[in-house]
Chains A and B, each alone.
Chain A
Amino acid sequence: MTHRDIVVVGAGPAGLAAAEGALAAGARVTLIDSADQPGGQYHRMLPEAYEATRPEALQHGWTAFQRRLRRVRGHPDCAWWSESSVWALERPDPAPDRDSDLDRDPDRDSDPDRDREQPRPPRVHVLRGPADGSGRRRTTLEPDALVLAVGAHDRVLPFPGWELPGVFTAGAAQALAKGERVVVGDRAVIAGTGPFLLPVAASLLEAGAQVLEVLEANTPRTVARGWSQRPWQLAAQAGKSGELAEYTALLLRHRVPYRTGRTVVEARGDGRVEEVVTARLRPDWSVVPGSERTLAVDAVCVTHGFSPQLELPVAAGCALRGTLGGEFVAVDDDQATSRPGVYAAGEITGVAGAPAARAEGALAGWRAAGGDPDTAAVRRLRRSRDQGRAFAERLARAHPIGAAWPGWLRPETVVCRCEEADYASLCRAAADPAGSAARVAKLATRAGLGPCQARVCGPTVAELNARLSGAPADREAEGLPVPAPHRRPLAQPIRLGELAAAPQPPHQP
């Protein structure tokens, strides 16, 4: 089993650690990322063209990150594929007359017995070249094992005016400040829930913006109760806690108020955001009447947690598990998913931050490459991963989404940004007994059918539809396939010309 070929998708903290783990176990590794530099969102690097002399000024754990990067990129058995998008995963199919499963019926996909004879991981279809370009090189990899470490993006709940220019996800504000030194505004409010509010505030302050307020929607009681359960577990995440303490100190220094139990319930402006309405929230996120305040701003940064990017795990056939914070990829003690040869690490298995992602990645890479399951180092990684998981659970308890949030929606509030489907149209679809099934509601309202393919509104529309109709989100409609919310057979856009062009061998220069 020496020299197994391992493909790692995603070069953030988890993917990079996976590559390192697999290389250490003697495998050949292809590390793939859509960005032109490794690091992911957490270690988002400045463009090389900036020729930054002090890039570490914006980074946590820069030295360790650089060291790992050198070990991985400098390794003779590692191929680093930047600007490369995995646009499809093709599962091995026992049927002889098919060579593609891109248009397979999802019911067949869920049959657990189908591929029992097929221990190989899926084929990896990659496009190499500038983002959304034409004429990118199309190539296919057939690894012995696959590690998925594709990460997550901000989940943002809709509110009136959230579609106005000047309303950003917290991740966008962070990426622009950290990744290219663009600050999204001069008078910013940061709102939502979770510890991610803090690094985003810190990034904006560092870049010279005025942060008027940081608003954590959960009440102090909810936050404290979540964080104070089993406090001994927190000690294991000292690195993370220290990082958070630094951000808190920075907010104090800049006299930025951090308010709990308050959020942005509306953004207003003519063609761009000019002011926000904030309101006090009860523990269930219902608005306290009369607590509204108006504030002039030019930027709003919002996050209500993270959505894992599940299209590739779902395409690979990996089972998911439901948690307090939503659905994630189910993995075993070695980070193996339910599919043979497919491993998962990082935020797609639970949102626990960079230290946990690194442990998961290292374990996944090592085991994917056939590394010894019972060494002291592996046991240490498992412990560290388990502490990370406990941290994730604590995080989810301290920063839940309050059930009463739809109270701030109005009939005309846009829910699906792409198709501009509003709350009223969702209510109408849900009131019609035939229309309340998720598939029918989608066709009636067009919510989730736009260019983003429900990546942004999917969980929200499913939740609203289930609540409004009183039916479970996965209710079937006669004659239509069962809803499969993360199923996107084309995981990334591909142009027809690229699809028509002949695939090229993977390892030509």
Chain B
Amino acid sequence: MSPRRVRAESDAVGRQDRPLRITVDGEPVDGVEGQTLAGVLLAADRLAWRRGRSGAPRGVFCGIGVCFDCLVTVGEDRDVRACRRRARDGDEVTTQSRAPGGLVDRNEPTPPPTEK
């Protein structure tokens, strides 16, 4: 099976779900308010959305903003850590790839600035 959100009706924390909708490469994806973009994507059964240098698929690894595996473009903002950014209704998310000649290589991240 796959990642999913605990059903609100049976959730021990007693929560309210307010739906929101984002688009991912133009396709609508439904989530609930308060989720991170990574949470929305995972719960919609998208385990991977970024491609590494070899083209290998990547999604969430560390979940707390350390590994940068889950980077996406949100609107005009490139390289947003999906695990740290709360989704907002209407967010336009574009996936990124570091593969040379990959489908979306316009999103090749700029080289990190801190190494000489």
Tell me which residues across on chain A come within 8 A of B18, comparing CB atoms.
49
Q: Do most interface residues of chain B lie in helix, strand or loop, or is the interface mixed?
A: loop
B62, A153: Cβ atoms under 8 Å? Answer: yes
Q: How far is the CA of A110 from the CA of B42 in the complex (A)?
A: 44
Q: Does B21 belong to the interface (CB within 8 Å)?
A: no
Rounded to whole Å, the gap between the CB of B80 and the closest CB of chain A is 4
Q: Do most interface residues of chain A lie in helix, strand or loop, or is the interface mixed?
A: loop
Q: A51-B16, A175-B64, A186-B1 are in contact. Are A272 and B69 (CB under 8 A)?
A: no
Q: How far is the CA of A419 from the CA of B36 in the complex (A)?
A: 26
Task: Kindly identify which residue among B16, B77, B115 contacts A134, using a CB–CB cutoff of 8 Å.
Answer: B77
Closest to A207 in B: B6
Tell me which residues across on chain B come within 8 A of A154, comparing CB atoms.
62
A34, B84: Cβ atoms under 8 Å? Answer: yes
Task: Kindly identify which residue among A36, A50, A169, A185 contacts B15, using a CB–CB cutoff of 8 Å.
Answer: A50
Closest to A162 in B: B61
- What is the 8 Å Cβ interface bit string for chain B, positions 22-62, against chain A (1 contact, 0 not)? 00000000001111101100110001100011101111111
Q: A51-B15, A131-B80, A455-B67 are in contact. Are A183 and B115 (CB under 8 A)?
A: no
Q: A46-B15, A165-B48, A420-B56 are in contact. Are A456 and B80 (CB under 8 A)?
A: no
B1, A187: Cβ atoms under 8 Å? Answer: yes
Q: A49-B18, A272-B48, A488-B114 are in contact. Are A181 and B13 (CB under 8 A)?
A: yes
Q: Does A53 belong to the interface (CB within 8 Å)?
A: yes
A166, B63: Cβ atoms under 8 Å? Answer: no
The segment out of A112-120, A283-291, A318-326, A446-454 that lies at the interface is A446-454
A419, B53: Cβ atoms under 8 Å? Answer: yes
Q: How far is the CA of A417 from the CA of B42 in the complex (A)?
A: 20
Q: How far is the CA of A388 from the CA of B18 in the complex (A)?
A: 42
Closest to B115 in A: A449
Tell me which residues across on chain B come within 8 A of A456, comparing CB atoms.
61-62, 66-67
- What is the 8 Å Cβ interface bit string for chain A, positions 138-179, against chain B (1 contact, 0 not)? 000000000000000110000000010111110111111100
Task: Kindly identify which residue among B16, B39, B54, B79 contacts A182, using a CB–CB cutoff of 8 Å.
Answer: B39
B34, A50: Cβ atoms under 8 Å? Answer: yes
B33, A47: Cβ atoms under 8 Å? Answer: yes
Tell me which residues across on chain B come within 8 A of A309, comparing CB atoms.
66
Q: Does A271 belong to the interface (CB within 8 Å)?
A: yes
Task: Kindly identify which residue among B57, B58, B84 contacts A131, using a CB–CB cutoff of 8 Å.
Answer: B84
B60, A420: Cβ atoms under 8 Å? Answer: no
| 25 A-B residue pairs with CB within 8 Å | A46-B13, A47-B34, A50-B13, A51-B15, A53-B13, A53-B14, A53-B15, A132-B77, A132-B80, A132-B84, A134-B76, A153-B66, A154-B62, A172-B60, A172-B83, A175-B83, A176-B63, A183-B6, A418-B67, A420-B53, A420-B54, A451-B68, A451-B79, A455-B67, A490-B113
Q: Chain A residues in contact with chain B, CB under 8 A?
A: 34-36, 41, 46-55, 57-58, 130-134, 153-154, 163, 165-169, 171-177, 180-187, 206-208, 271-272, 298-299, 309, 417-420, 449-453, 455-456, 488-490, 493, 495
Q: Assuming A46-B34, A418-B67, what are 9 further A-B pairs, CB within 8 angstroms?
A: A35-B84, A49-B34, A131-B80, A182-B35, A183-B6, A185-B1, A453-B112, A489-B114, A495-B77
